[in-house]
Structure formats: C-alpha cells, structure tokens
Amino acid sequence: MSLISEIKGKTLVQSTSVKVTNPVDGTYIGSVPQTTEAEIKKTVQLSKEAWKQWRKVPVYHRAELLYRYSMLIKKQKEDIAVLECNEMGKRIIECRGEVTDACRVISGYAERVKHLYSEVIPTSQPGIEKDIIYTIRESIGPVACIVPFNYPLELYAHKVAPAIAAGNPVIVKPASTNPLAVKRLVEIGQKVGFPENLIQFVSGSGSKVGKWLVVQPEIAAVSLTGSTAVGVQLLMDAAPNMHRVYLELGGNDACIIMDDADIQYAVKEALAGRLQNTGQTCCAPKRFIVHNSIKDEFASLLTEELKKVKIGDPIDIDSELSCLISEPARDKVLKQIEDCKNEGADVFWGGEAVDQTFMTPAVLTNVSVDSSVATDMEIFGPVFPIIGFDSDEEAVNIANSSIYGLSGGVISRDTGRALRTAAKMECGTTVIGGSGLYRTTDMPFGGYKKSGLGREGMLNTLEEMSQLKTIVLKNIM
C-alpha cells in the first residue's frame, strides 16, 4: 500500500529507513524514512497547496506564529540539545547554545518581517507627474531547505524562519548522518498552528533525495549549506527551472597574525576558532598565516595549550573537544594530514587517531605557500596549518590564493594596519582582532568566489525569500 495519500503535514513514514547511530560509540539512536521520488513529488504538490493559503496570511499573524514556534522550541531545549549531542557528537554545551541560537533566529524574523517596508518611487522624469509608483513584496513559493550536519539546528532556523516569514512553505532535508534533531524541530513546527503542510520533512541521501527535490518545477528557491562540489551540482540541477539558489559552501579561511600581535591572545583566538565543533565549522580559521619572526613561538605556545585540552564524551560538560561526525570523516582528516606531510609539511604535534571517531588536534609547521592546505584544501577537523610570511603584502597574497573566500581574520595591535589588510582580503567577512570565526543572527553571512552565492542573515534574507512587484497608478493625481 502506498503511503503517499496519508501524508498530511507529518513526517513521511515508509518501510525503508536510514539508521542513525551515536558517533561516540556506534549505539543505535533512531531512524528516519528514506523518502522516495514519488513521495518527493507529492510533498512538493502539498507544499504548493499550503502556499495558496499561507501567502494570504497577514504579516502580524505570521509573526505571532513564529514567536510561538520559538517558545515551543525553547520549552524543549534540553531534550533537543541532548538529541543533537547524541546523534552527532557535538559537545552538550555547544548543543544547548545552538538551540538558543535557533530560537533567537526564529523570533528575530518574527520581528523583522513586521518592518519590511515598501517604497514609493519619485516622479523623476517628465510625463509621469500624475502617476504614483510604489513597490510591494510578495512570497515566491515552496522553498527547499537543505540543512548540513555541522550546525543543523541553527541553520535550520536561518533557512526556515525567513522563508515562512516571507509567506512561503518549506520542505526541509537534513543531513542523513544526523537528521533527528531537525526532525524534532519540524514536528514542533507542525504543532504551532501553521497551515497543514507548511513545514514538511524529507530524508535520505543528498545525491538522490536532494536532487529529486531540486529538480521539481514547482520549487521556487533552494537554500543549501554544504560543500562546494554539492553546490555546483545543485546549481546545474536547478538551472533548467530557473530556481532561486542560495549557497553557503566551503572555506579555507585565513587568520593573519602580524608580528606586533599579542601572541598569547592570538593563540587563544586560534584555539577558540578551530576547536569549536571539533573543527567542523565552515567559517573556522583553517590556515594560520603567521609572521616569520613569531611563527615558531606561536607553534610552541599553541601546542602547549592543545596538550591541556580534555578530549572526551560530548555529554560530559567538562569535555573540551569531542569526536568528528563519523569514522570516515575522521579518517579523511587523518589522510589530509598525511597529504600535507607528503607535500613537505611537518607534524609538529598531534594528529593521531583516538578510539572510533576521535583524534588529537594537529599542529602543522613548515607548510609551503603553494601546498594544497595553503590554498584549496579544506580540512574539516582540528588541524592548525602554520604558514610563514615576511611582509603584509605577502600575507594578503597567501590569504587570497584560495578558491574560497568565506571568512578571514587579522590580529594586530595596529588597528590601521589591520584595517588596510582586511580591506584587501577576498572574503565575505573579515574579523579584526579575531580568528575569523564570527557570525551573528543579523549580519549578512556568505562568501566570495567558490564559497557561495547570496547572503544569510536578518539584514537581507527576507528580501531574498520574497519578490519585488512594482505597481503603477497612472493618471491618478
């Protein structure tokens, strides 16, 4: 019996399912359905029907429901945080913070949408003196929200909240490695009072389920956070139907540390930036471009601090570094370290496998400016490649040598020098006095070059999730 006819705003259920396990010890946690192509088509049709109703809902009522959504998530904060911790191995402290961030984003868009203003165009040319020209914003239709594994709750909110606020239904596809916390958010959303099928959940591999979703003609827009390779494929899949596409992709972010920097502070920033989420963060610093006069001291001080880091179970609040999302992910990082060694780098300290999915952080020295890790290799793990430079111009050239351009950082006691350097860096965000790991709910977040298309953030995403219409009242005055 087909279950397609039984889909009524609830999670799809089939006999084929994807098993979810704890990366710490491999224990079974739960499962999600493997959505079929036929169910994708039905889901999109249901989303289109929901859009007909939702786009007519007044802005103030959309905002009220989003506020309610945020409060319902907040009430389940601990349960959601523990679920995320168990299915992806992220430290419980970080998981709790991520739930809070998701609530902040959702309630933020509830407020922001009430202040999305139209414009009246001046009669600035002869012959239109009696006309009135003004703009309005309209919803665009079903939005496919493809959520990554590394910050599933926060990035769910960054995609779903503005789409709903702007009057659009959403279809959410999480990563197949850790979909359960996202599924919980969808289930909560289905109890808020939104129209039936406004928020729908599909699951399975990106190469199949994601592609099936993107190629549907009724989809209006796709918002993806993922790898550059996946983003390029998605662009090609979306092109025939002219979908709007928003991509936040890979990065090999540079942190430039000048010779006048407070070296202890620089080490502290490096640790905070690279160890968060075990290095599995798009905008984490992944290249440390350090002045040659302090490069050796930086490596030594960094290593001393890394030796003190407590690696342990993420549910333990005393743990300072957890595991990676999976054993293959950990093994890929270890292989990348070997690749760096083969290109001439030295492992100054660390870089060893621990248990099933854990590893010690690695400090790499003698990294050449033309090596893979100095340019285009994105290491999604706790690895610190240190690259030396002599002049500010050389530091900028190294930083800009990558195909990526997501975030960057400059650490110097000379603010003017740091500002001049930041202005020359080819990236979407540059942090002065920090590693580059920086994102707020409001700021436009996104990258240059192959780090993506578009920007996420309350300053501009509502505009991305709506379309502008010009209305002319001719000879009305």
Which H or E run includes 11? none
DSSP codes joined into one string, 255-321: EEE-TTS-HHHHHHHHHHHHHGGGG--TTSEEEEEEETTTHHHHHHHHHHHHTT--B--TTSTT-SB
Would you tell me how many other CB atoms lie within 10 Å of the CB of residue 431?
A: 23
Residue 210: DSSP 8-state: I
* Cα distances (angstroms) measured from residue 175 to each of 274, 291, 309: 22, 39, 29
Contact (CB, 8 A) for 446 and 455? yes
Q: Which of 191, 204, 148 is nearest to 10 (CA)?
A: 191
Residues 6+ apart with CB under 8 A from 375: 252, 401, 402, 403
Residue positions counted in the chain: 477
Burial of residue 117 (number of CB atoms within 10 Å: 0-12, 13-18, 19+):
exposed
H-type helices in 113-179, by residue range? 152-165
Q: Which amino acid is at 361?
A: P
The label of the residue with tokens 């827009």 reads 221
The Cα 7–Cα 16 span in angstroms is 16
Which is catalytic among the residues 248, 269, 456, 464?
248
Which H or E run includes 247? strand 244-248
The label of the residue with tokens 């660390």 reads 350
Which is catalytic among the residues 103, 282, 340, 427?
282
* Cα distances (angstroms) measured from residue 360 to each of 94, 266, 434: 19, 21, 24
Q: Which of 459, 461, 462, 458 is nearest to 105 (CA)?
A: 458
The label of the residue with tokens 């002599």 reads 390
Q: What angle do CA 12, 30, 209 make, to 5 degrees?
A: 40
Determine the distance from the C-alpha atom of residue 36 to the mean position of all C-alpha atoms in its chain, rounded to a whole number. 26
The Cα 420–Cα 269 span in angstroms is 21
Would you call 323 a catalytic residue per the annotation? no
Task: Pick left, alpha or beta for residue 135 (phi over 0 → left; psi -120 to 50 → alpha; otherwise beta).
Answer: beta
The Cα 452–Cα 70 span in angstroms is 28
Q: Which of 292, 260, 279, 268 is nearest to 386 (CA)?
A: 292
The Cα 186–Cα 21 span in angstroms is 20
Would you call 327 a catalytic residue per the annotation? no
Residues classed as catalytic: 248, 282
